[in-house]
């Protein structure tokens, strides 16, 4: 096998692995929306739902407007418009600054019991359609069993 054939095979293999690694079920960002899919099999347990976002250090707003849209396995849609505190007043949040970004973490709900088992979809958006131009980097939803 010639050197060119080996290099070509390596490039094709690497490209194929890259394509396959980007597909799957779970969490992914699409523009100013982040989608998390959660399979609620245990409807008797309680869950905590937390939110996180990565803001530019230059962000000067006191709140971060976000929209959380939850779709049940039956297709029912629930929408919550949020104003999350960015400053460390007396409202609890966790933040860590790392040069360019400020990582923020908020507790959204605790003690949540999913009414129906199945796949729930959580779509978190920055509210760009409502004038939120925060330059938010990564953001998402964390669901954990309590």
Q: What is the DSSP string of 59-86?
A: ---SEEEEEEEEE-TT--EEEEEEEEE-
Report the pLDDT value the prediction gives residue 22, as an integer from 0 to 100.
45
- pLDDT, one tens digit per residue, over 28-65 is 444 477 888 999 888 899 999 999 888 777 777 788 88
- pLDDT, one tens digit per residue, over 74-126 is 999 999 999 888 875 555 555 555 667 778 888 999 999 998 999 999 998 87
According to DSSP, the residues that pair with 80 across neighbouring strands are: 68
CB 33 within 8 A of CB 125: yes
> Right CATH number for 25-145 from 3.30.70, 1.10.3470, 2.60.120, 1.10.760?
2.60.120
Q: For the chain, what are the domain ranges? A: 25-145
Report the pLDDT value the prediction gives residue 6, as an integer from 0 to 100.
67
């Amino acid at each position: 096998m010639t050197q060119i054939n080996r290099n070509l095979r390596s490039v094709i293999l690497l490209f194929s692995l890259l394509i396959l690694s980007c597909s799957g079920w779970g969490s992914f960002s699409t523009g100013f929306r982040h989608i998390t899919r959660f399979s609620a099999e245990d409807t008797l347990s309680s869950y905590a739902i937390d939110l996180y976002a990565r803001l530019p250090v230059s962000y000067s707003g006191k709140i971060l407007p976000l929209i959380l849209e939850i779709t049940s396995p039956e297709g029912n849609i629930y929408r919550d418009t949020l104003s999350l505190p960015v400053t460390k007043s007396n409202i609890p949040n966790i933040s860590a600054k790392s040069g360019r970004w400020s990582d923020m973490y908020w507790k959204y709900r605790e003690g949540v019991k999913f009414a129906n088992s199945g796949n729930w979809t959580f779509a978190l958006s920055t509210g760009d359609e409502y004038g939120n131009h925060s330059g938010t980097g990564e953001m998402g939803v964390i669901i954990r069993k309590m």
